[in-house]
Chain A
Amino acid sequence: MSLNSKVPLIMLREGDEGVVVDIIGGRGAVSKLLALGIVPGKKVKVLGNRGGAILISINGSKFVVGRGLAMKVIVHAKQKN
């Protein structure tokens, strides 16, 4: 993964961080994510990605996001290490 690439959230690995840049998908999905504070500009950290739903931390809250929905959140990946 190159530095500063735009990828779906699901591509990040455990411990990776990124910044939300866009949410793609239907109005329902978008508004639900927005209402939960998952909006462009927010920093997101992946706490767990073991092949099923993804565990993230954003705004000081933790969420379990199903893989389908996590595909729709586009992030600017920052690579650790």
Chain B
Amino acid sequence: MDPRRVVITGVGVVSPLGVGKESFIEGFLSDRSGIDRIRGFDPVGLPCQVGGEVEEFKINEYVPKIYRKATKLMSRDIVLAVVAAELAIRDAGLKTKGTAPDEIANIDPRRSGVNIGAGLICCDLDELGIALEHAQHEGKFSYAKWGREGMESLTPLWLLKYLPNMQGCHISIIHDLQGPSNSITCAEASGLLAIGEAYRTIVRDKADMMVAGGAECKINPMGLLRQCLLGRVATRYNDRPDQACRPFDRQADGCVMAEGGGIVILEERQRARRRGARIYGEITGFGASNNFSGDFIRPDDGAAGVVIALQKALDEAQLTGDEIRLLIPHGSAIAEHDRAEAQAIRSVFGPAAAALPVVATKSRIGNSGAGASALDLVAAVLSLQEDVIPANRNCPEPPPEYGLNLPDTTIRSAGIRNAMCCCYTYGGQTAAAVVQRPDSR
């Protein structure tokens, strides 16, 4: 029996470039950046004051009427996932309990699942501040008063806004997805690892359709503060936000954090064909690995984990490096990390590396944590579909020793048959995937 094959039939994007795949691809093909001075809170006390925030949108346009009350239980991270999932399901033409409540569904709920990458969700500090007013003794926190009065001012369902599995939970309820369900929490690798797991779930015949991806909001005081404490953020560009994130550039200054969600619909190929779905591409290879070093934060020299993940994904797709026409790297814009990633790419692709277009996305959309690597897969998928290689932004001067081909102009009719993306994170988790044109085998 031939192995089951998995195709992508829908994409949903919420990013600093806008809501929806149209503004996402348009943003990549123009010179637009989604990075600006942070507006969600006053970042004045933090060394990095720029980030990628999503334009205002109304959550009610993305959840069915009967579910609107439950949006009160959604933190920003959950909202981003729910909206991206809704967009992806609509984009795939799937009729679910959520998208077509009055029609017969064209999914089998028991064979449909969800796998969403989530971050460490911090509670709303203003909300906690109000409760803390009732828990102080002489200006200091009092456990006794918190236990007696303070906690009472939190809404009873307070905890539910902050559990990472609630992204998948809400999505499963809205769309009636009763199959396998998982919530991957591997920081910046979460989104792509979730997609890789969902891909395997379908190959194993445990589901026919999976809603998979990741979403996170890093533009909140604690989320950004943690990155500042780790010294990962860009600090020299607070007056020039759109130039702040510079992956692989000589002037790379650090991460620029963001919010966003990227979700794809994965379907078993025959099922997708039978229902006449538009097929963006096929996932033909996936590799997961570990990029640990001595300190949890830096990749080691040569990013050995990235090498293994890329190679495993290529092997599974039965491809050699010269057959890849686009690579979306992690490209954190931390110079030392970019150097290690470039070395890993050279080591996998060898002489073909010089010809392989590498396009980093974070210069435009920042780093949305658990959403980031899923958005990168979506960028690869949309580039494949449009057959276009977007230009890098903020990368006028890559150090020549990186040895990478970082196009600075858009390449149309690029002839992409196979595209890849890869990611790694603090903590070490690493992943890579190959997406192939639907008609190429």
A and B: bona fide binding partners: no
